[in-house]
Amino acid sequence: MNFQGIKAIYRFEMSRTFRTLGQSIASPVLSTVLYFVVFGSAIGSRINDINGVSYGAFIVPGLIMMTVLSQSVANASFGIYFPRFAGTIYELLSAPLSFVEVLMGYVGAAATKSFVIGIIILFTAGFFVPLEVKHPIWMVAFLALTCVTFSLLGFIIGIWADGFEKLQLIPLLVITPLAFLGGSFYSIDMLPELWRKISLANPVVYLISGFRWSFYEHSDVHLSVSIAMIALFLTVGFAIIAWIFKTGYRLKN
């Protein structure tokens, strides 16, 4: 295992975060705080409790998840796309690194960044709404697994994209709608039966549901289903990246 190589990529990516601290951390935190102010404090105070949880507190897991999803995808996709765009990818491809080591470096750094953002948002939320985390270990586990899973997705997008426009395409047209419709602001049990069934096709539902369970012991789908779905996303993402490196798709041709 080339640990030095993993460390080099990880540190390199993290140093980019520190160079662009405002854009990397402050900006997503600020926009989430605005959600809390508007939906949590202003509008939320006029909405009934959901399953015994105040609306402001109810949306915290969903908001964290929404930001973490978009940040994981953005960080990882940019991390691998930029060397492709700048041409420095040659160094990565010619280095004695396996694809697992490359992933550990890039996805590890992207997931770390979004995990930190998630934790910062969680603490920030505490200033606006009463917070309770009933299963902190599960909460951390769900958060970490989601960061990794969506960083894998971002990594795939970063390799697939052949322009900055395409880099934004999937996050804007797919991830954001799925996050909004995945139960960030509501429980899917509140939907009519048909829309509830349709919502179950949205993978984000399982992430938010499991994550919300770790806070309030209430979930839209059974916990085991959420865990199984995350495991499935992880496996599929990993398999796609293994295929990319095996065939050299968009990297070696």
Partner 1 sequence: MTEPKTAIAIQGLEKVYPGGFRALQPIDLEIYQGEIFALLGPNGAGKTTLINAVCGIVNLSAGQITVNGFDHCTQYRQARSCIGLVPQELTTDAFETVWNTVSFSRGLFGKSANPALIESILKRLSLWDKKDNQIRMLSGGMKRRVMIAKALSHEPQVLFLDEPTAGVDVELRKSMWDQVHELRETGVTIILTTHYIEEAEEMADRVGVIHKGKLLLVEEKNKLMKQLGKKEMVFELQHPLETVPPELCGKNISLAAGGSQLVFTYDTLQEDNGVTDVLDCLKAHHILYRDISTRQSSLEEIFVDLVRAS
**To the nearest whole angstrom, how small is the minimum distance from the Cβ of residue 13 to partner 1?**
10
Q: Is 92 in the site for partner 1 (CB under 8 A)?
A: yes
How many residues bind partner 1, per CB under 8 A?
A: 27
- Judged by beta carbon, residue 15 or residue 41, the one nearer partner 1 is 15
Q: 16 Cβ partners below 8 Å, 6+ apart?
A: 24, 79
Residue 85, SS3? Answer: helix
* Residue span 229-248 as binding mask against partner 1, x where in contact by CB under 8 A, dash where not: ------------------xx
DSSP 8-state code for residue 50: B
What angle do helix axes 3-19 and 55-86 make, rounded to 10 degrees?
110
Residues within window 12-41 making contact with partner 1, judged by CB under 8 A: 12, 15-16, 19
How many CA atoms does the CB half-sphere of 112 hold within 13 Å?
Answer: 16
Contact predicate 149/238, CB 8 Å: no
Q: Is 79 in the site for partner 1 (CB under 8 A)?
A: no
Q: Of 63, 1, 22, which Cα lies nearest the Cα of 208?
A: 63
Residues within window 96-115 making contact with partner 1, judged by CB under 8 A: 96-97
Residues within window 136-165 making contact with partner 1, judged by CB under 8 A: none
Q: Is 4 in the site for partner 1 (CB under 8 A)?
A: yes
Q: Is 93 in the site for partner 1 (CB under 8 A)?
A: yes
Residue holding tokens 């969506």? 150
Structure tokens at 164: 């900055």
- Judged by beta carbon, residue 13 or residue 220, the one nearer partner 1 is 13
**To the nearest whole angstrom, how small is the minimum distance from the Cβ of residue 109 to partner 1?**
13
Q: Alpha-carbon distance 161 to 80, whole Å?
A: 10
What H or E segment, with its residue span, contains residue 72?
helix 55-86
Q: Is 91 in the site for partner 1 (CB under 8 A)?
A: yes
Q: Of 25, 111, 132, 115, which Cα lies nearest the Cα of 64?
A: 115
- Judged by beta carbon, residue 8 or residue 225, the one nearer partner 1 is 8
Residues of this chain that interact with partner 1 (CB under 8 A) are 2-5, 7-9, 11-12, 15-16, 19, 86-88, 90-97, 247-248, 252-253
